[in-house]
Amino acid sequence: MNTEQYQKHLNDHSIGFDVKNNGVHLIVEGPKGYVDVWPTTGKWICRGDQKQGFGLRELLLYITKGET
């Protein structure tokens, strides 16, 4: 998935984010703070509790329901 598709999915789910480095790095609003996301690899790391995972599906579950 490219960065534009990733951003569209976040927008579709009304999840706020900031774009850094031309979309290579996103900073997403999570349930316990900010989440650093790298759409090109799918990796994400939560700043608040160091929870991490891979993929948009896991990220959406974490943000919307607090689970992965």
pLDDT in tens, 45-59: 999 777 899 999 999
Per-residue pLDDT, 16: 92
pLDDT tens digits, 36-45:
999 999 999 9
Whole-angstrom distance, CA of residue 22 vs CA of residue 28? 15
Residue with tokens 């790298």: 38
Residue 31 is predicted with a pLDDT of 80
Nearest one of 38, 37, 58, 39 to 47, comparing CA atoms: 37
**pLDDT value of residue 67:** 63
Check if the beta carbon of residue 46 is closer than 8 Å to that of residue 52.
yes
